Amino acid sequence: MKAGSDKLLVPGFLMPGDTIGIVAPSSPFDMENFRRGVAVLEDMGFHVHAPEGLFKKSAYLAGSDSHRARMVNLLFSNAKIKGIVCARGGFGAMRILSLLNYEIIIKNPKFFIGFSDISAILSALYTRCGLITFHGPMVSSLGRATQRTKDALRSALLGDKKIEIRLKSGVTIQSGATRGPVIGGNLTTLVHLMGTPFMPSFKGHILFLEDRGEAAYRIDRMLTQMKMAGCFDGILGLALGYFNARNRMHEIFKIVAHVFTGLNIPILAGFDVGHGRTNLTLPLGLPAALDADAHVLQYS
């Protein structure tokens, strides 16, 4: 069950021919990458709606805060839109959290997909609405994504099979198995939600974390701050995705082992989720079984 609410909203699966709306809640995006991503969604059998105003730019943002929030609200309120995929991350999502119309979103639950900076919105939708969201690829990265990435996204949208990720080269940091709803996303973004009303509680959840190119000491600092703030109290397990630091991943594993010392939870690293060419789709808020020894995360 979601943090801070007694009701979970599960969006309906899509069907071929349904319309997916594109939104840019953070930074502007490259047009050629955008076109390639749209072509991928169309090849999957979906219609794509690019609303007027999608291509606005304001320095490092895709338009003003009010504009970006309005775009999100409009897509949720549009009954013809069955799912929403973000165009790009970057920065800016947290600036619009107080401007989103959560009443409209609760009345119109639908697929909402993104990662990286979009983790702020994924967390807010879960915390405020109880909406199951999806940590997955965005339009600007789909054109160069692997086939596994595309297949995983399409399968999640259609709901044609249960989601199961078995790691061929997983790393067991702490042994064990557990079961609970998955929560989390980009580490840096989640740290910056601390102290705000949009920070979710991780208690009773399997926590998933990923990040991009952060130095080992910065990951240490962020995890240590979250531990000191009590963010990890009561978590059931930990799953780690890409950190884009393969030549020093052993350092990150040592940091994680140190920070989570004393917590008797399974910790499994090596998920192809996050800032890599392969970025598998993870539902956030749905229950799953994590087995750190068998190297598997399996949703019900």
Residues serving a catalytic function are 116, 210, 275
- CA 259 vs. chain centroid, Å, equals 23
CB within 8 A of 21, min separation 6: which ones? 49, 51, 75, 78, 81, 83, 84, 85
Question: In the chain, what is the straight-line distance between the N-terminal and C-terminal CA atoms, in Å?
Answer: 14
165 neighbors 292 (Cβ within 8 angstroms): no
CB within 8 A of 10, min separation 6: which ones? 109, 132, 286
Enumerate helices (H) and strands (E) in the chain, giving the number of each: 9, 14
SS (H, E, C) 245-269: CHHHHHHHHHHHHHHCCCCCCCEEE
- Of 236, 191, 225, the C-alpha closest to 210 is 191
